[in-house]
């Protein structure tokens, strides 16, 4: 079975009101874990590859691994460039057959972000590819700019609803990654903090009111950083801080219902893998066959992905809609 286009997966997810899991792939075990879980739960899936993954594993190896996964499963799979940092990298991935790319120029001034996104969009659309771009800064909830005079402040870290509309119109991007208190990694929040879900609703509504339809939004930094996994890592010799914190799964559930169509998860997979490997190293110190620790690591990632697609993203069961 060939790759399924990101456009098609988005259209079905919007219609079915579920979110696509976009899981980061860096090696064979992660890929197998993600695809096996999605196959067993009949979930469509987006595999995403970062620049770091390409540097680590070699783009040719990743392409061949994904070809192997696609040829041994029946579920719909799309392949996406995560956090492309230049037109050239996006072009390479488009030329390699990725079904979508992200151009991330969110750290640049508005004009530059629009300009590079436009350029990627023009090339992508000529080559049957769609583009995700980002507006705002993923700085976490502690940097909430608050509100000005009852309205959302403009030009701040968080995505402003009207600016989102203007950005989509000017850049022509096909989906938009938003900043609503989300951030990458295992230390997202301080204490009891949450995503700004009211702002997310306002962004979705502004896009709808502007005639852009049921426009797909993307949530980066969506790992929930489970405490029990952090504890297991520490139990077996790791030193993850006390202050690990992720997005509560209840927040992701609401984000999904409000209209986050693609939900990016990487850190949780890394942690599940690390905890399982550490456990083998500590409980079986004589073991030196990599398969003896990579197999439990793969299983742990698989169960985590299964949980996400069944209980949080609700994409399970939708592979053949
Ligand atoms: O958002 C970033 C992803 O977790 C990928 O991370 O650039 O270390 O591969 P990476
Ligand atoms: P996490 O660090 O929360 O897993 O976010 C992953 C991500 O956004 C990849 O683009
Ligand atoms: Zn991200």
Ligand in nearest proximity to the CA of 271: 2
User: Which pLDDT score, from 0 to 100, does residue 193 have?
Assistant: 82
Strand 147-148 with 130-135, pairing: unpaired
Under DSSP, is residue 230 helix (H, G, I), strand (E, B) or coil? helix
Ligand 2, atom 9, lies closest to the CA of: 264
What are the φ/ψ torsions at residue 170 (nearest 5 degrees)?
Answer: -75, -35
User: For residue 84, how far is its CA from the centre of ligand 1 (angstroms)?
Assistant: 11
Ligand 2 contact, 62 CB (< 6 A): no
pLDDT above 60 for 319: yes
User: For residue 220, how far is its CA from the centre of ligand 3 (angstroms)?
Assistant: 4
Cα separation, 223 vs 269, whole angstroms? 9
Cα separation, 63 vs 45, whole angstroms? 16
Ligand 2 contact, 182 CB (< 6 A): no
User: For residue 27, how far is its CA from the centre of ligand 1 (angstroms)?
Assistant: 13
Domains of the chain: 6-181+196-266 (3.20.20.70)
pLDDT above 70 for 142: no
Catalytic-residue membership of 82: yes
CA distances for 79 relative to 49, 124, 315, angstroms = 8, 14, 17
* Dihedral of the alpha carbons of 183, 186, 189, 191, in degrees to the nearest 10: 170
CA distances for 208 relative to 67, 72, 104, 127, 202, angstroms = 37, 39, 23, 27, 10
Among 42, 37, 25, 121, residue whose Cα is nearest residue 318? 42
Strand 130-135 with 100-103, pairing: parallel
User: Which pLDDT score, from 0 to 100, does residue 150 have?
Assistant: 52
The tokens 């520490």 sit on which residue? Answer: 234
Cα separation, 10 vs 89, whole angstroms? 23
User: For residue 184, how far is its CA from the centre of ligand 2 (angstroms)?
Assistant: 5
What are the φ/ψ torsions at residue 109 (nearest 5 degrees)?
Answer: -60, 160
Ligand in nearest proximity to the CA of 26: 1
User: Which pLDDT score, from 0 to 100, does residue 191 have?
Assistant: 76
Ligand 1 contact, 53 CB (< 6 A): yes
Ligand 2, atom 5, lies closest to the CA of: 221
Q: What is the pLDDT of residues 33-55, one digit of tens each?
A: 999 999 999 999 999 999 999 99
For all residues of the chain together, what is the average pLDDT? 95
Cα separation, 155 vs 113, whole angstroms? 13
Ligand 1 contact, 186 CB (< 6 A): no
User: Which pLDDT score, from 0 to 100, does residue 145 have?
Assistant: 57
Ligand in nearest proximity to the CA of 184: 2
Ligand 1, atom 8, lies closest to the CA of: 52
The average pLDDT across 245-267 equals 96
Ligand 2 contact, 63 CB (< 6 A): no
Confidence of residue 153 (pLDDT cuts 50, 70, 90): low
* Dihedral of the alpha carbons of 91, 93, 94, 98, in degrees to the nearest 10: -160
pLDDT above 80 for 283: yes
Q: Please, are residues 118 and 90 in contact by the beta-carbon 8 Å criterion?
A: no
Ligand 1 pocket, mutate which of 21, 27, 53 (most atoms under 8 A from CB): 53
Q: Please, are residues 175 and 218 in contact by the beta-carbon 8 Å criterion?
A: yes
Ligand 1 pocket, mutate which of 26, 50, 271 (most atoms under 8 A from CB): 50
Among 205, 121, 112, 224, residue whose Cα is nearest residue 165? 205
User: For residue 181, how far is its CA from the centre of ligand 3 (angstroms)?
Assistant: 13
Question: Residue 236: enclosing H or E segment and its boundaries?
Answer: none
Cα separation, 312 vs 302, whole angstroms? 15
pLDDT above 70 for 240: yes
The tokens 């799309």 sit on which residue? Answer: 78
pLDDT above 90 for 115: yes
Cα separation, 260 vs 23, whole angstroms? 15
Confidence of residue 257 (pLDDT cuts 50, 70, 90): very high
């Amino acid at each position: 079975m060939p790759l399924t286009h990101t456009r098609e997966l988005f259209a079905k997810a919007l219609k079915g009101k579920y979110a696509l899991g976009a899981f980061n792939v860096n090696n064979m075990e992660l890929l197998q874990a993600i695809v096996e879980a999605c196959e067993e739960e009949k979930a469509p899936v987006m595999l995403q590859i970062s620049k770091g993954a390409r540097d680590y594993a070699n783009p040719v190896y990743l392409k061949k691994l994904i070809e192997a996964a696609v040829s041994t499963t029946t579920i719909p799979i799309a392949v996406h460039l995560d956090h492309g940092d230049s037109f050239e990298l996006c072009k390479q991935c488009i030329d390699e057959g990725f079904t979508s790319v992200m151009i991330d120029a969110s750290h640049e001034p508005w004009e530059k972000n629009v300009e590079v996104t436009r350029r990627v969009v023009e090339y992508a659309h000529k080559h049957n590819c769609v583009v995700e771009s980002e507006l705002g800064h993923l700085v976490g909830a502690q940097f909430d700019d608050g509100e000005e005079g009852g309205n959302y402040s403009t030009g701040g870290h968080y995505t402003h609803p009207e600016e989102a509309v203007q950005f989509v119109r000017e850049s022509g991007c096909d989906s938009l990654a938003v900043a609503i208190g989300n951030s990458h990694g295992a230390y997202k929040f301080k204490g009891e903090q949450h995503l700004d879900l009211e702002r997310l609703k306002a962004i979705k509504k502004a896009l709808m009111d502007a005639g852009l339809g049921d426009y797909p939004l993307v949530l980066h930094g969506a790992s929930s950083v489970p405490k029990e996994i952090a504890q297991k890592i520490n139990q077996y010799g790791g030193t993850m801080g006390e202050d690990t914190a992720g997005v509560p799964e209840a927040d992701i559930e609401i984000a999904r219902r409000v209209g986050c169509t693609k939900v990016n998860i990487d850190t949780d997979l890394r942690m599940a893998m690390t905890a399982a490997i550490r456990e083998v190293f500590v409980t079986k110190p004589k073991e030196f066959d990599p398969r003896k620790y990579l197999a439990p690591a793969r299983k742990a990632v698989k169960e985590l992905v299964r949980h996400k697609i069944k209980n949080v993203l609700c994409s399970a069961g939708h592979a053949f809609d």
